[in-house]
Structure 1
């Protein structure tokens, strides 16, 4: 029986995911993976916190069905364009709705996590991009830090981000650097055909041309690639490539996609190959020896090596060759003593 993919273990809660950054593009949505986290949390009776930023609670809460061990933090209703007539009340079925300002997110989330009192808890954002419009980078960094502080082995936070719809005033590099500092799990959603086209050899006839052509109607396909980076508490990072197939009722099937990894380039440096530069290169003088110079060097007899050529040990005898300038004192140093 094949072992489970790490992605499957993280979704089911068998491994601690902590702060999960779910990154997608317009070519392939993160929603199947986000629904998998939601379904897994409900089936395993986790405490559930929904943070609504992109969609109103009335659109997301029906996904919970009759599940009651949940609370909704409503940040979406603070938008000026949000219609007051569509705002839900403080209760939607059996789920409490807690309105809050974006600047209050850390304090409100910590309070709701204490009130849930569940052995395991999942915090799900519908999207993190609206906060990028409201907040400066300094406040975004503080918010991400507070979210990471709430996570532990029994509490995980899933944070989706759309990398191709960021505000013009903020760059992907600055946002990724903030997330990369605090996240422990990075799930990158890749469009399957785009990935195949990027790694394929144009001279490889084993892949049909029809499999590589991207069509606009094929966006958000039922099969996609997940590039996973998972950091353990020990500091070890594990990378994994998975193939995800969507089934009925938002179910997914996860399998290994190691055969879809890009092939190493022939110019890549091998692990056992030294990458140090030659310090003797580009010098104005020569530090190497010719064969004649090396032979003459080997024939030089070094002094004080007689002991290495003796066949028998002399038992610790000291060999001394007196020098003509040696000054020996023949007088008895104790002659003036009455001994």
Structure 2
């Protein structure tokens, strides 16, 4: 396994076990593949690998029965936001809490900001699903307001776009079949599926990976596009016979390059909060002019 594949799999595991700092995890499913198995994998990883207790609060808009893994279950369909606020205000969130929202589609555009503000807290991770196949109704009173999906994608720190594994059918044919509700049997209830993971770091940089997740064996396989494979192969072939000396880097050299730490960049500390200044520390053997005030290291 390459270093990039290993690091991406580690990131996925850390997100699923709530060890990675990601307060809002958004799952995007469709009629071709639901988020049911991804949710179960989330719960499995938390229960099996997390030593600290995690309280699970389930906010239901389309689920009638309480899941076995939920510590608390609230029926929120048709209830005002004050109902959820009152419940959260009474609860002291001393331990880490996972709030599961089974469907964001029932939240109106006007209530989304207040709804998310009600749920966010330092010890809380929000995990919710948005159904892409559900048609939306445009709000004519605020036509310039971004859609609910756009705002959710903007706020989310981690996005799972869930897709079925297509065998013998391409993506365009699949979209046409979904639009006509002409789906193969058990297509939307497969324990093995594909996800496109988008993780946003605190610096603003987005990391995008594609995985094949098997929830039966709990294994994750990193997918690589054919274009990426061809590009890496072509680069190696071009550099191979270009000169009489070696221009490529070995795997050992790549690992050593990734581990290089620039000691004088304060931007590496506190995730860039100190700015990007380059700081040089004087040593006793350095040559400087003692009479020049601009060169006085002290």
**Residue 66 of structure 2 is aligned to residue 60 of structure 1:** yes
**Within the alignment, does 1:144 sit opposite 2:116 as a pair?**
yes
Aligned pair in 2 of structure 1 residues 215, 163: CA closer, same or farther (>3 Å)?
closer
The match for 1:254 among 220, 233, 241 is 220
Distance 2:20 2:199 in 1: 10
Among 22, 29, 32, the alignment partner of 2:27 is 22
Corresponding pairs, count? 210
Partners of 1:28 and 1:181 in 2: CA distance: 23
**Secondary structure of 2:13's match?**
helix
Map Cα deviations across residues 274-303 of structure 1 (whole Å, 9 max, x no partner): xxxxxxxxxxxxxxxxxxxxxxxxxxxxxx
User: What is residue 86 of structure 1 aligned with on the other side?
Assistant: none
**C-alpha deviations, 1:81-140, integer Å up to 9, x for none?**
xxxxxxxxxxxxxxxxxxxx232256236425x42421x211111222233xxx3x1222
- Which residue of 130, 133, 137 corresponds with 1:168? 137
Match of 1:127 in 2: 103
* Counterparts of 2:165 and 2:58, CA distance in 1: 29
In 1, Cα distance between the equivalents of 2:154 and 2:16?
A: 22
Distance 1:175 1:37 in 2: 24
Contact 1:6/1:240 (8 A) holds in 2: no
Contact 1:19 1:151 in 2 (8 A): no
The residue aligned with 1:73 is 74
After superposition, give the CA deviation of every residue in 1:216-266 in whole Å (9 maximum; x if it has no partner): 12513332111011112222211111111131xxx632121124677899x
Radius of gyration: which is bigger?
Answer: 1
Structure 2 counterpart SS, 1:60: coil
- Of 253-262 and 33-42, more deviation after overlay is shown by 253-262
SS in 1 for 2:185: helix
SS at match of 1:143: helix
Alpha carbons 1:144, 1:182 under 8 Å: kept: no
Q: How many Å separate the matches in 2 of 1:144 and 1:179?
A: 10
Q: Deviations over 1:1-39 (max 9, x none)?
A: 745342222001221221111100000111111112223
Give the TM-score of the pair, scaled to structure 1: 0.53
**TM-score of the pair, normalised by structure 2:** 0.60
Shift, 1:178, TM fit = 1.4
Q: Which consecutive residues of structure 1, in runs of 5 or more, have no partner in the other structure?
A: 79-100, 200-213, 266-339
Cα gap change, 1:51 to 1:264, in 2 (>3 Å) = farther
What is residue 195 of structure 2 aligned with on the other side? 226
Q: Is the 2:32–2:183 Cα contact (8 Å) retained in structure 1?
A: no
Matches of 1:255 and 1:127 in 2, distance apart?
A: 27
Tell me the SS of whatever aligns to 2:154: helix
Provide the rounded CA distance (Å) in 1 between the counterparts of 2:154 and 2:21.
18
Q: Could you list the runs of 5+ residues in structure 2 that have no partner in the other structure?
A: 173-181, 232-298
